[in-house]
Amino acid sequence: MSLTRELVRIIRTKPVSEQDLRWSAYFVLDTLSCALGALKTEPARMLKAVAPPETGDTARRAFYLGGIAHILEMDDLHRNSVTHPGCVVIPAAWAVAEERGMGGHAFLKAVLAGYEACCRVGNAVGKAHYRVWHNTSTCGPFGSAMAVAELIGLSDDQAVWALGNAGTQSSGLWEFLAAGAMSKHLHTARGAESGVLAAFLAKEGFTGADRILEGEKGFFAGLCPDPVPEAVTAHPDGPWELTRTSIKPWPCCRHAQPTIDAAIGLHAELGGATPARITVGTYQAALDVCDRPTPEDPYSAKFSLQHCVAIALMDGRVVQSSFDKEARARVAELRGKATVGKSPTIDAAYPDAWGSEVSVETTDGRKFNAVRRACKGDPENPVTDAELAVKARLHLTAGGMSGEEADRFIAAVNSLVEDRPVAELGLFRRGGEPPVARRRLA
């Protein structure tokens, strides 16, 4: 039996509890609020100009929502697979469920299935894959295809075809970071769209490779120098991978967040003392992506360990404005005191744990240290329902909703566990603006 066929079997025989549905709604709220919070950004304008959701087909709406969901860098993260599954899986599932008038239960189950496919494939790509390839973009189409397969009732054979054609569309290179380009939003947009297309084609009988993962000229052979194929089907009776996913508290690369967590803790301890030297010890993947001593734009700053540790130490918090021109100038001197390197202990624990060690020596000779093995927002240290609601409300109001509208939207998303029709939230009814159905969201 091929890996994709076994993956379909594992997903379709996995029980879904009421708590699993609640977890699914939790991540739907996080993803949708991140997407709607980005509506006023310039990348969102560009995506809408090319793929207007009010006039496009289902795949194009998934493209648009997938693109805007990743703009703020606040969407979720699955550590073992190093993927952001929500911004690919949920847009695809939402576009299909809304278009077809489906209820919340079917939608939330499809989201669970999509996360499972994306994360299990991501668990198997090996560490070297991430040095060149953006895992969310390469593994995401498997997740979006599986979610849509559940919603449109594909047979097992058709689901395998969908995954085969999702895999052959895998792409997404890290080169965009060197120029501070916007391609990362395209990665998630295409990841969502590709899965929709793959599933719809399979429904028509369009076949895909059964051995797309392990075949001689398949995904692992082409994209993965050190794959771990057995990880695709490991621990079939374990919890849903969605429940092992982290929520981001801060608007930047997830690799920088353990460092931020540690630095915010040190901010209070410093009591205003001036750092003379800052040392960050992390894992190699974080250095590969986030060793940027002199970021020259907001996006580069979000991928700079040096900037993130400096702004967190100085301000004791990190928000969207922490990466703008004024903030970068304000911490330039402090940022220059930061040295980043690999910690053998932290690196050995990756990717099961994404940690950081931060040390600060002050000008008066005192030394302060903080270690984070699990970051705020990880399953071991989760954000609470109230904290997620605060995060969602901030995003939704930034995107154009009033506070009252945001609260109603949050309640409506949570009510999907009661099988509320997805279309009642009206996400695409005015080209991606805040839902016009909000009067019905009481």
CATH annotation of 254-372? 3.30.1330.120
Confidence of residue 177 (pLDDT cuts 50, 70, 90): confident
CA distances from 231 to 7, 89, 234 (A): 11, 20, 5
In DSSP notation, 213-235 reads TTSTTSHHHHH-SS--GGGGTS-
pLDDT at 437 over 70: no
- Average of pLDDT values for 47-71? 93
Tokens read off for 257? 């967040």
316 backbone φψ class: left, alpha, beta (φ>0; ψ -120 to 50): left
Residue among 411, 150, 126, 119 nearest 243 (CA): 119
What value does the mean pLDDT take over residues 84-96? 98
pLDDT bin (cut points 50, 70, 90) of residue 427 is confident
**Which of 51-55, 190-194, 353-357, 400-404 is predicted least confidently?**
51-55
* For residue 229, cis peptide bond before it (omega within 30 degrees of 0): no
Average pLDDT over residues 277-284: 97
**Domain ranges across the chain:** 3-244, 254-372
User: Among the listed ranges 86-95, 318-327, 367-376, 432-441, which one has the minimum average pLDDT value?
Assistant: 432-441
Confidence of residue 432 (pLDDT cuts 50, 70, 90): very low
Q: What is the Cα–Cα distance from 172 to 174, expressed in whole angstroms?
A: 7
Look at residue 187 and tell me whether its pLDDT is greater than 90: yes
Confidence at residue 433, expressed as pLDDT on a 0 to 100 scale: 47
- Please check the confidence at residue 89 and state whether its pLDDT lies above 50: yes
* pTM score: 0.89
Write the pLDDT tens digit of every residue in 318-362. Answer: 988 999 999 999 999 999 999 999 999 999 999 888 999 999 999
- In the prediction, which pLDDT does 320 show? 86
Rg (CA), the chain: 21
Q: What is the mean pLDDT of the chain?
A: 94
Element spanning 340, H or E: strand 338-342
Element (H, E) at 339: strand 338-342
pLDDT digits (tens, 9 = 90+) for 364-374: 999 999 999 98
Confidence bin at 429 (pLDDT 50/70/90)? low
pLDDT digits 0-9 by tens, 137-175: 999 999 999 999 999 999 999 999 999 999 999 999 999
CB-CB contact of 214 with 84 (8 Å) = no
Phi-psi region of 174 (alpha: psi -120 to 50; beta: other; left: phi over 0): alpha
**CATH hierarchy code of domain 3-244:** 1.10.4100.10
Name the DSSP class of 367.
Answer: E
pLDDT at 276: 97
Distance in Å from the first CA to the final CA of the chain: 49
Give pLDDT tens digits for 198-212.
999 999 999 999 999
